[in-house]
């Protein structure tokens, strides 16, 4: 007789718990669904890379190192570096129209300071008819320029690694140069770069040695 009230209370308590269990499950599912929809509307953003604070573009002896640039080879007709970076909208139009597909943009800012640049070892400027990247630039960061007046940079020949030094009859850089004799020629057994060099990078791209025996120093590095 004494246990009956206790058992009755326990009975009702357990019964109430069973009645409320579906409601608790429903509330939990609603909370999960709300969190899911919130995640869909506000997806987590990937971490944005910080632009490098600086690059080291010179070797310990003071010579220019094109493999680790601060100065980048810009498309033909580029304004002086600071003005170019200021005017360029990073729209990618020069990349789109380039027939050689040599112009790149790194929107993460790890290469080219986020602006159009050329890596001659990957693909060089072919100085196409009409220099279409410059004529299609909407912001005048690239100025239409005649081929003979282009000045993107200057080629530098490295005698130590050149195949001619041990006696090979290689002159690929001369044969492939789109400018010709006014830019580069053979002087005895020496490759000589002349004032007509536009810095297009074809010689560096075509050079068969690695590291390259002829490389382009961008215009901004020489100024």
Coil/strand/helix, residue 6? helix
26-35, 36-45, 93-102: segment of lowest average pLDDT: 36-45
In order, the DSSP letters of 38-55 are: HHHHSPPPPPPPPPPS--
DSSP 126: -
Query: Average of pLDDT values for 148-173?
Result: 95
**Band (50; pLDDT cuts 50, 70, 90):** very low
* pLDDT for residue 53: 34
Distance between CA atoms of residues 193 and 187, nearest Å: 10
Nearest in space to 76 (alpha carbons), one of 197, 204, 203: 197
The residue extents of the domains of the chain are 1-44, 81-222
* pLDDT for residue 70: 78
Residue 71: both structure tokens together? 């100065």
**Are the C-beta atoms of 145 and 132 separated by less than 8 Å?**
no
CATH architecture of the domain with range 81-222: 2-Layer Sandwich (3.30)
In order, the DSSP letters of 141-207 are: SB----GGG--SEEEEE-TTT-TTTTT----HHHHH-SS-TTTEEEETTEEEE-TT-----HHHHH-
Query: Average of pLDDT values for 103-121?
Result: 94
């Amino acid at each position: 007789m004494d246990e009956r009230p206790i058992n009755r209370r326990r009975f009702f308590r357990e019964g109430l718990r069973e009645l409320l269990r579906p409601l608790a499950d429903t509330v939990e599912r609603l909370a999960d669904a709300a969190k899911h929809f919130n995640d869909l509307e506000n997806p987590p953003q990937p971490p944005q890379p910080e632009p490098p604070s600086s690059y080291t573009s010179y070797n310990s002896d003071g010579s220019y190192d094109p493999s680790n640039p601060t100065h980048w080879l810009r498309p033909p007709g580029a304004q002086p570096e600071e003005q170019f970076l200021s005017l360029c909208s990073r729209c990618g139009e020069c990349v789109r129209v380039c027939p050689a597909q040599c112009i790149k943009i790194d929107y993460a800012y790890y290469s080219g300071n986020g602006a159009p640049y050329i890596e001659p070892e990957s693909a060089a400027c072919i100085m196409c008819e009409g220099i279409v990247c410059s004529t299609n630039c909407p912001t005048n960061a690239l100025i239409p320029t005649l081929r003979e007046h282009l000045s993107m940079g200057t080629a530098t020949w490295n005698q130590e690694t050149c195949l001619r030094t041990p006696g090979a009859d290689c002159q690929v850089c001369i044969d492939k140069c789109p400018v010709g004799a006014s830019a580069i020629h053979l002087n005895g057994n020496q490759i000589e770069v002349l004032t007509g060099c536009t810095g297009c990078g074809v010689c560096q791209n075509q050079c068969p040695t690695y590291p390259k025996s002829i490389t382009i120093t961008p215009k901004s590095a020489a100024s």
